[in-house]
Amino acid sequence: MGDAVRPADDIFNHVLQESFRTWSSYLASEDEGHPFPQHAIDLGSLVCQTPPFLGGSAAASDEKIAFACEEKQSTQGKVLYLAWAYILSARWVELLGRSRDHECQMSYSPPSCEGPVHSNKQHMIQIDIGDDACAEEVSWWRAVLCSDSCWDATTKYNGHEYLSPWSLSATGAGLIVTTKGFLNTRADPPDSWTALEYLRRFCVHHRLYAQCSVALAGVLYIPFMRGGTIALPFPKESSRLKSKEGDGGSTVPIQELLKEHGQLLAKYMTLSSNVWGLRSILCSTFFNKDIECNLVSAWLNPAFAILDSISSKSNSKAAFLINRQPRIGILWLGALLTDLAKSILRDVRAGMTAVDLPASAWTETSQSFLSSEIESIDGDYIHRDDECRLLFITAFESHDRPPIWPWKPFGATHLSETELSVFEHAWCTGHYLEYDSWEWILTDNRSIKNTREQTSQPTDKKSQYLHNRDSPVLEDYTYNFFSQSLSEGATRGIFRWLRSTGYPSSERPMYQLFWFDMEGTDDEEAPDDEESDVEMQNSLRKTHVQLWLEELE
């Protein structure tokens, strides 16, 4: 099968077998009682370099957090999800309200929230918030859990009114608050810190720890939904006696957990607002910086063969994804909670991955070959992946935007056939991408700058542990492991970015292959003799030289 583009059969088979062993190692054993490692629920450490929303104050705690990763009591994910949506919206109003150009408001929407909501069409789940809840606290929970939209977070700007990015309408929520407290119909909506205190009291009452962070991660995907609808699991009603037993096994009280989340809310909001970036972080689970574009199929086919074999009703899929990349495990749990994981996995399977360099730097996750350092030149050739890096760093012509394909091109280019910017910097040392800062540009020509923080966070590294279990083999799965569609798309994409200004004559055997399908390069339109092709390329290079000299002047 091997030619100027496609790998030889033995190379493909070797990568396929190694990839299969790697992906198989992330399968959780049948008898594992705790499939999720505690550090996989640590949302705070993920945003270590993320700039706070609108420059809002956010200080990360140095204290490590341990979570109870298995909840054997009631599941309150929907309640926590609705509460976090309010809290993020309230913080949005508080941060945006500092602007003189915005008129921000947090308000209740009476009279629909003045009492319990009843429905004849569905079973209503009673939510116990405790007998000691004050009247304002009862009002807030009823507003948050009401089936209709009972609270609004808005801003008026240039004559238009806008909703918070985390606004939602809990249609058909089927939740009612049960308490002996009285309802204060004239209560003002609480600020974000007061709402966090109400949430803390609820979590302590129900012994909720890991679920609290997972629900918060799920809320980060609300801007991702673009007005869509999700179905969250209903809470399970449990006895009030059982709900007060123990502390769920956490070594850190829920007070400390929610305090850290409160301090990091502005960072979570920045990450959530970058919809493409959030998507790219999940896609990074499948990225491998050592895989070349023409071997992507050999790398990813085993991953999806295994995913297809995992039951969607178990925790095995979550464990598989978390075991691969524990650092972003909390984001996968949020995506699985909101059912967004399906669309992400579907797109990656189709070769439609996402790359976002700011999000990669903010979360210290590896998403693209561009972020690797450039190797030193040895001889008259430069690796094509280094050629790509120099083209992007120097922003040569149409290469000022990073490629959306994360996989590196194979092979090398003779230095005499590279662009001027590549040739000029090929022997330099120390060229690489490094995150420095983020600036919020204000309307009064000022800016808020957030510089890179010095942290001791570990670099992004995919898990490499193996379970003590019988290793599966390719024959155990019904899957087309030898499909080349992912490699074909990745190869065509990255080479179109690399050669957007034209192919050197030496690569003619490559771009004439069907994987490239380049317009205007077929034999009928191409010059008959090689000299004509060289002459055309030289003419093009002379034009580039003239443009380069004009820029120097």
83: closest CA among 240, 264, 211, 184? 211
Rounded Cα distance between 473 and 481, Å, is: 12
Hey, what are 453's tokens? 């923080």
Per residue in 297-321, pLDDT (tens digit) is 999 999 999 999 997 766 889 999 9
How many CB atoms are located within 10 Å of the residue 296 CB?
26
Residue type present at position 324:
R
Rounded Cα distance between 353 and 331, Å, is: 16
pLDDT > 70 fraction of the chain, expressed in percent and rounded: 76
83: closest CA among 253, 206, 186? 206
Quick one: CA dihedral 452, 456, 457, 459, positive or negative?
Answer: positive
Largest Cα separation within the chain, whole Å, is 91
Rounded Cα distance between 158 and 173, Å, is: 34
Q: What is the DSSP letter of 540?
A: H
Please list, in sequence order, all residues whose beta carbon lies within 8 angstroms of the beta carbon of residue 407, skipping any fewer than 6 positions away. Answer: 291, 292, 293, 296, 369, 490, 494
Q: How far is CA 161 from CA 93, 437, 504, in A?
A: 13, 32, 54
435: closest CA among 45, 43, 49, 48? 49
In angstroms and rounded to an integer, the radius of gyration of the C-alpha atoms of the chain is 27
Round to the nearest angstrom and report the end-to-end CA distance of the chain: 50
Contact 151, 166 (CB under 8 A): no
Residues β-bridged to residue 106: 153
| Polymer length of the chain | 553
pLDDT band at 422 (very low <50, low <70, confident <90, very high): very high
Hey, what are 542's tokens? 């002379």
Please list, in sequence order, all residues whose beta carbon lies within 8 angstroms of the beta carbon of residue 170, skipping any fewer than 6 positions away. Answer: 82, 144, 145, 146, 147, 148, 149
Average pLDDT over residues 87-109: 91
Rounded Cα distance between 370 and 289, Å, is: 9
25: closest CA among 336, 460, 468, 477? 468
| Residue linked to tokens 């056939």 | 417
Rounded Cα distance between 406 and 411, Å, is: 16
Lowest pLDDT segment from 108-122, 169-183, 439-453: 108-122
Considering 117-121, 323-327, 377-381, the range whose residues carry the highest mean pLDDT is 323-327
Task: Return the beta strands (E) in 22-174 as ranges.
Answer: 103-108, 125-128, 151-157, 160-163
Per residue in 222-281, pLDDT (tens digit) is 998 877 777 776 555 443 333 333 344 455 678 888 899 999 999 999 999 999 999 999
Lowest pLDDT segment from 27-36, 95-104, 140-149, 515-524: 515-524
Residue type present at position 167:
S
pLDDT confidence of residue 529: 47
Q: How far is CA 4 from CA 227, 240, 507, in A?
A: 47, 69, 9
Rama region for 256: left / alpha / beta (φ>0; ψ in -120 to 50; rest): alpha
Domain ranges of the chain: 72-247, 373-431+484-553
Rounded Cα distance between 59 and 265, Å, is: 10
Average pLDDT over residues 6-27: 96
Lowest pLDDT segment from 99-103, 104-108, 334-338: 99-103
For 75-84, letters b (16+ CB in 10 Å) and e give bbbbbbbbbb
Angle in degrees, CA 100, 104, 105, rounded to 5: 150
Is the pLDDT reported for residue 526 higher than 80?
Answer: no
Per residue in 338-353, pLDDT (tens digit) is 999 999 999 999 999 9
Helix-strand-coil split of the chain, %, nearest 5: 45, 10, 45
Alpha helices in 97-221 (DSSP H): 135-145, 192-206, 210-219
Q: How far is CA 327 from CA 36, 101, 221, in A?
A: 12, 39, 18
pLDDT band at 131 (very low <50, low <70, confident <90, very high): confident
How many CB atoms are located within 10 Å of the residue 382 CB?
24
Rounded Cα distance between 351 and 355, Å, is: 12
Rounded Cα distance between 503 and 384, Å, is: 13
Rounded Cα distance between 90 and 188, Å, is: 12
Rounded Cα distance between 450 and 361, Å, is: 13
